[in-house]
Structure 1
Amino acid sequence: MAVTVFANATLVLPDRLVPNASVAIDRGRIVEVGGPAKGAIDLGGMYLAPGFVDLHVHGGDGADFMDGTAEAFRAVCRCHARHGTTSLTPTSTVATGPQYDQFLALCGELYGDVPSGARIIGSHFYGPYFARPARGCHPDQEFLVPKPENADRFTKLAERMPLVVTVAPEIENAEWLVRTYAPRGVRFNAGHSHGTFSQVEAAVSWGVRHIDHLFCAMSDRARLRLSQAFPMRGGMLEATLFFDELSTEVIADGKHLSPDLLRLAYKVKGPDRLALVTDSMRAVDQPDGEYWFGAIGSGERVLKKDGVGVTLDGTALASCVMGMDHCLRTMHFSAGVPLPEAVRMASLTPARILGVESEIGSLEVGKRADLVVLDRALNVQQVFVGGERVSGAA
């Protein structure tokens, strides 16, 4: 197989931009990152960045991972590849036992390359261990107390691939869950929680290392003050910002969080502990209207309206409807984050959070040739997964 060279590119490295540079790939891997070169693919000075890595994504292009079919999985992966995402972890919603089992089975079945789409690199098991009062837009279905009879079957996938499980620290048996399964390779997030600062601190001691969608579906001092006497105490928000052991993520769609909150998260956590995620649902690349969040027929009905998902009554947000390229543009142009760091938060940082940074996340020799070509407005022009052009890329 002949070596392919991308020439006349502006490389987006984790810490700098390198103009008039080249990248050579062979058999799906990066074999050289260098200076000026002549090659078959002249990028005309456009940005060449590592493919994006999405740790938190529910759906797109009319499909949801909870639809429970291989074709739904592939449709979501193809959708997000068009937006520059080359690796992702399918994320479940609150559902029923059989639906959880089917979701996990399909994650295992489709682990690896998805033809013409983003690669499935893990699974994000998200829903049964939420605190019900903090469920947000998720269906009010099966919330479980962690016990061997459910936890054993839900965590078997960790033997084969990276598995992330979200748990609210305040629910019964949360400590048992983390202390039992973290040594077996399960990665634990905390989220959809009204926990106190001290409960999050305890969760860090158990082994929790990441917090889902900062500022969203989580407690802070104001929320806790509504139900507790003095003195005021911090919640999950304050603990996330305080503990250096915790990484976190933001939905940078310009709707969930204002630019000032994105700037705050970036300043406090920094680009190595803050990832960009879409948290997007099936309405990505679809017209405005009503959609199911979660499985068709048993999820929650929501609206896509004005560039975001909202509840039917319009009083609350209900997931993102944009791809990672949009989040990158928001972080760079609206929040003012330098481009190398904004790209790092969409690529190398999430790869590190998942523990796969030796394979993906940056333009380095030996890593997979997962690449995205962006114009100066950061619109996706070409996407390559393992060196192969993704069909349907802009």
Structure 2
Amino acid sequence: MNFTNGTLVLRDRLLTGASLEVVGESIKGISAARADAESIDLDGGYLVPGFVDLHVHGGAGHDFMDGTASAFDAICRCHARHGTTSLAATSTAADAPYILRFLRECRAAKGRDTGGARVLGAHFYGPYFAANARGVHPGTPIRAPEESEFQHYLDYSDIFCTATIAPELPGAEVFARACASRGIRLNAGHSHATFGQVVDAINWGVRHIDHLFCAMSDRAKLRQSQTFPMRGGMMEATLFFDDLTTEVIADGKHLDGALLRLAYKCKGPERLALVTDAMRAVDCPDGEYTFGPPEHGERIRRFSNVGVTMDGTALASGVMGMDACVRTFLSEVPETNLVDVIRMATLTPARILGLEQSIGSLEAGKLADVVALDAELNVKLVYVAGRKVFDRSAT
């Protein structure tokens, strides 16, 4: 199978006049342009690697915290329609039975044919958040980590992609070091940590910061009184330390163009990933939805292409696919280009997860996760490991 008559978006350049050859589940290589019976005509559009989403909670009316195979598969099919071919199923703050149900289903879904995006594993996300930075997550389950509890979660360490901790919590270091000892990649987020506490977290093994600028400390939150010196927080530390990667929700609602430009300038395409932070209302009408497990989640609304709290005073997760994030970032950040923006949705998140040898770019030997985009960067075709999972012309 050959993809031809378009522009290939490679890790460092655009390439026209060439074909991408796929054999079975893998990319065989790039060759001179050709047309034969097995060719797929890109019709002058783009061929890009499949998007990789580090931070996604749901879609198509379902949340990963529903904890069922049907919910997982529906979410994966939903995000495949938006070009995502691999994702880290992301939990929410919840009590132990619901987290364990989520982890059991992640284990069952990893490697299973979902009919859409591939489940890479679990992003363990909550309940170990700072209460005053919980965002839309349910408040009751928010707590500091205790070893007697989190050891049960770490029984599923084989399917963890990442785990998030607020560094200022009592027990945060013990949890972080327990994760690191099992090879789990560590994030910090939903936190009002000081700059110094982020430095401590880096020493424990934290290397990634969740959704930059959202639900995190900055100097304004950390100024205790007029007589105390102003201190930096997680936002400043994220921008300062080259050791830290981070992510932005580029849906055009969470962050304006100036913040996207700042993130891009400070971190660059190698350290900045695009994420959707999408909840169950992706591809659904405006209305009320539950964020998290249906039994004890938080009620929120989809309104004007974003999730909002019921009183409308704050944002509450995303409702757009990764294709929208790519288009938004490209339009809002004039300093960037298509190669870098696609990289932030593909190879950079793959590298953050340590999976860049198998996914994230159009290179020989990698899985044939490929997406055909039209000239306006709308998704036309999606292949996961060489198998077509979405065709816009068939919908």
Give ranges in structure 1 of 5+ residues lacking alignment.
Answer: none
Which among 291, 294, 306 is matched to residue 293 of structure 1?
Answer: 291
CA distance in 2, matches of 1:308, 1:119: 25
Cα distance, 1:32 vs structure 2 = 1.3
Which among 250, 253, 267 is matched to residue 251 of structure 2?
Answer: 253
- AA partner of residue 262 (structure 2): L
SS in 2 for 1:175: helix
CA distance in 2, matches of 1:214, 1:63: 25
Deviations 1:140-183 (A, max 9, x none): 1322332322221112222x334311000000011111123202
CA distance in 1, matches of 2:9, 2:112: 24
CA distance in 1, matches of 2:390, 2:112: 14
Which among 147, 170, 173 is matched to residue 175 of structure 1?
Answer: 173
Please state if 1:100 is matched with 2:77. no
Q: Is the 8 A contact 2:381 2:391 kept in 1?
A: no
CA distance in 1, matches of 2:383, 2:112: 12
- AA partner of residue 25 (structure 1): V
Cα distance, 1:334 vs structure 2 = 2.0
- AA partner of residue 46 (structure 1): G
CA distance in 1, matches of 2:114, 2:49: 19
CA distance in 2, matches of 1:228, 1:310: 33
Q: Is the 8 A contact 2:44 2:375 kept in 1?
A: no
**Equivalence for 1:80:** 79
Which among 16, 20, 23 is matched to residue 19 of structure 1?
Answer: 16
CA distance in 1, matches of 2:390, 2:209: 34
The count of aligned residue pairs is: 390
- AA partner of residue 200 (structure 2): A
- AA partner of residue 137 (structure 2): H
Give ranges in structure 2 of 5+ residues lacking alignment.
Answer: none
**Equivalence for 1:128:** 127
CA distance in 1, matches of 2:89, 2:225: 35
**Closer/same/farther in 2, CA of residues 53 and 281 from structure 1, 3 Å limit:** same
CA distance in 2, matches of 1:186, 1:144: 21
Cα distance, 1:7 vs structure 2 = 1.3
Q: After alignment, is 275-284 or 108-117 more displaced?
A: 108-117
**Closer/same/farther in 2, CA of residues 93 and 393 from structure 1, 3 Å limit:** farther
- Report the TM-score, using the length of structure 1 for normalisation: 0.96
CA distance in 1, matches of 2:93, 2:348: 27
CA distance in 2, matches of 1:228, 1:123: 43
Please state if 1:109 is matched with 2:108. yes
CA distance in 1, matches of 2:282, 2:43: 30
Deviations 1:15-72 (A, max 9, x none): 1111121111111100011231224212122100000000000000100001121101
Q: Is the 8 A contact 1:259 1:335 kept in 2?
A: yes
Cα RMSD after superposing both structures: 1.3
Q: Is the 8 A contact 2:106 2:159 kept in 1?
A: no
**Equivalence for 1:372:** 371
Please state if 1:36 is matched with 2:51. no
**Equivalence for 2:354:** 355
CA distance in 2, matches of 1:273, 1:377: 26
- AA partner of residue 379 (structure 2): V
CA distance in 1, matches of 2:370, 2:160: 22
